[in-house]
A and B are shown apart, each in its own frame.
Chain A
Amino acid sequence: MSTTTTKTKTDTIVSVENLKTYFYTEDGTVPAIDGVSFEVKRGETLAIVGESGSGKSVTSLSIMRLIPQPPGKIVNGDIKFNGESLLIKTEKEMRSIRGNRISMIFQEPMTSLNPVYKIGDQISESIIIHQKKSKKEALAEAINLLNLVGIPEPERRINQYPHELSGGMRQRVMIAIALACQPELLIADEPTTALDVTIQNQILQLMKTLKQKINMSIMLITHDLGVVAEMADNVVVMYAGQVVEQGDVYTIFENPKHPYTEGLLKSMPSAEKRIGKLYAIEGVVPNPLNLPSGCRFAARCEYATALCYDEMPDIQKIGNEEAVRCWKYTHRWEGK
């Protein structure tokens, strides 16, 4: 118990080790995450990039231990938070971590706020629970937080209900709630996808400044490479439940190794100049109920050889920080 209340500090805040989260559905087993490993360092922003069904959101829910069970289950691997395994914690211990040391913001700010409670009450709730402050102190803190996230007239806002705020304002409130206990890690699951560009920009800048102010780490889950380029220090690219590539943001954008990462970057229309045809990755993601035995991207990959269809490549380190799951970077590669 004492270990959870004293905040032990390490360089690595979260390390996910060979995590497997499966969903057991009527139609069969869905390996939503299938052997995923990565680390979040203190003070860094790690972006997890992937399309729908890549397992990026399930990863964050697994860290929060919020996987609905059944049908979901973490079947293998470990998640360590400051060196302690989260998987062996009791539900009560998890509750003291969630919203306190690890916070989360979601894509849809309307549905993540409770419509029947005032903004002020929703922010002060977690302060009261986790920091054992009085209601009055907590409300004062809530006003500070609203100030911090750039909401004008916070004294008036705390008495308003979610429906009285615009989408951008709601997302700010969500961030205020997430920051209430000065978490060490903020998990942001598509935080700006539902917002317009000008508002998205406000929120991204806000997250950047806040990160520095309270020295937290951010795990940013998104499909938007523009947002990744804007925010991330390091990037994990996921495809069909696996990490296919990870590295620092400059390497990923300038020298992508995995054909999927390469394809994603090539298929983005440029904001700077008008090009001819867009590059398109042909085909669709494999059916999670019926995954190929070889590389999961092989069917859509322009470099694929028989080896790719027959055997799944392992993820392996290239250089210091970079890793890729592709046969192209092994001695067994004989293709073009």
Chain B
Amino acid sequence: MGIPNPSVNRPVALNVKKMTGNDYKIEGKASVIWRRYKKNKLAVVGLGVFTLMCLLAIFAPLLTPYRPDVYDIFDSYYPPGTIPESGEFHLMGTDSMGGDIWTRIVFGARISLSVALLAMICTVSVGIIYGAISGYFGGWVDNIMMRIVDAIQSIPTFFLLLIVAAIITPSLWSTVLVLSVFGWTGMARIVRGEILTLKKRDFIEAARATGEKKSATIFYHVLPNAIAPITVIATLDIASNILAESSLSFLGLGIQPPTPSWGNMLTSAQELTTVMDYVWVVIFPGLFIILTVLAVNFIGDGLRDALDPKMKD
């Protein structure tokens, strides 16, 4: 029991102690986000896997002695391991044309990931701008813009993708284009919805009351508050783009052989015999697709939490 001196002893209520100490240090926003992100173990694993995939894509030529577009028809359908006659080692075996599957996977990663990322960038930018305009201005502008979205969404997209892909010569760029044209509506809807709810919040009115311009209100006050759902949708878009590219290429309407993509590597799985007898031909590209999509989804999950300012540290 010390000498009573209430004015000194007074415990400081709530968080004030934390706020007034001299040990107070300023932490950058990025480091705060990273600190929160790290708490989600699956998200960290996801990020690791996705980074690995990107590294594979970037350093593809260094990772394999073979070239993706050179075939040796005599070595077709070799299971993983060394071919006794030539002494060549195939980590994941060979495909119907005798191409090395590992080689095609790492080079395919380049294509599949570029298509997914490029298409995502397109859908996100279009979706945000479209949704923001529609949501912020409201009224008949919103009405018309959303009916257009309805119309696009009511089209059975995949069939249309098939038709468009059949009309224009399939290539990397056409695949990106096709995915972008039909992929932005989801983002537009989310952004519009977010803006409609944010618009009703008092701080938006407060911004107007302090003299903020309309456009600045959207970019400074509204959109940053929608960043969490936007980021999550964007990452999920990557995942769905990878899948869509795979599907298109699987059907022969996306990336054309000999250029490898994870999707067109699965084309041979169209025949049941391949799946039954040469399972490694489809299992490895399939595994990479699943891993990448899962990884990206985990990243999305982690980002959603990390970007929420209300999350506890």
Contacts and interface: CB of A to CB of B under 8 A. Distances in A.
Touch test A–B (CB under 8 Å): yes
Interface of B: 1-6, 9-15, 312
A306 B13 contact: no
Contacts of A43: none
**A-B CB proximity, top 3 nearest:** A306-B4, A284-B13, A287-B14
Given A285-B13, A300-B13, 11 more contacts: A26-B312, A283-B13, A284-B14, A286-B13, A286-B14, A292-B11, A299-B11, A305-B6, A306-B9, A308-B6, A309-B11
A287 B5 contact: no
Nearest to B9: A309
A11 interface: no
A306 B5 contact: yes
Contact of A306 (B6, B12, B15): B6
A292 to B, nearest CB: 5
29 contacts: A26-B312, A27-B312, A283-B13, A284-B13, A284-B14, A285-B14, A286-B11, A286-B13, A286-B14, A287-B13, A287-B15, A292-B11, A298-B11, A299-B10, A299-B12, A299-B13, A300-B13, A304-B10, A306-B2, A306-B3, A306-B4, A306-B5, A306-B6, A306-B9, A307-B4, A308-B6, A309-B9, A309-B11, A310-B1
Contact of B6 (A285, A286, A309): A309
B4 A305 contact: yes
B81 to A, nearest CB: 50
Contacts of B15: 287
Nearest to A287: B14
A304 B14 contact: no
Helix, strand, loop or mixed for chain A's interface? loop
A304 B4 CA distance: 10
Contacts of A283: 13
Interface string A273-314: 000000000011111000010000011100011111110000
Given A283-B13, A284-B13, A284-B14, A304 B6 contact: yes
A299 B10 CA distance: 6
A262 to B, nearest CB: 18
A27 B14 CA distance: 14
Nearest to B7: A304
Contacts of A285: 13-14
A309 B13 CA distance: 13
Nearest to A311: B1
A241 to B, nearest CB: 15
Contacts of A307: 4
B311 to A, nearest CB: 11
A216 B306 CA distance: 52
Nearest to B6: A304
Interface in A254-287: 283-287
A86 B174 CA distance: 70
A305 B10 CA distance: 10
Contacts of B1: 306, 310
B223 to A, nearest CB: 30
A32 to B, nearest CB: 17
A298 B13 CA distance: 10
Contacts of B14: 284-287
Contacts of B11: 286, 292, 298-299, 309
Nearest to A309: B9
Nearest to A292: B11
A283 B15 CA distance: 12
A158 B4 CA distance: 66
Contacts of A304: 6, 10
Contacts of B312: 26-27
A304 B1 CA distance: 15
Contacts of A310: 1
A57 B161 CA distance: 57
A87 to B, nearest CB: 32
Nearest to A301: B6
B73 to A, nearest CB: 61
Contacts of A286: 11, 13-14
Contacts of B5: 306
A298 B12 CA distance: 11
A313 to B, nearest CB: 15
A284 B19 CA distance: 15
A302 to B, nearest CB: 10
B58 to A, nearest CB: 39
Interface in A1-55: 26-27
Contacts of B13: 283-287, 299-300
Contacts of A284: 13-14
A308 B1 CA distance: 12
Contacts of B2: 306
B36 to A, nearest CB: 14
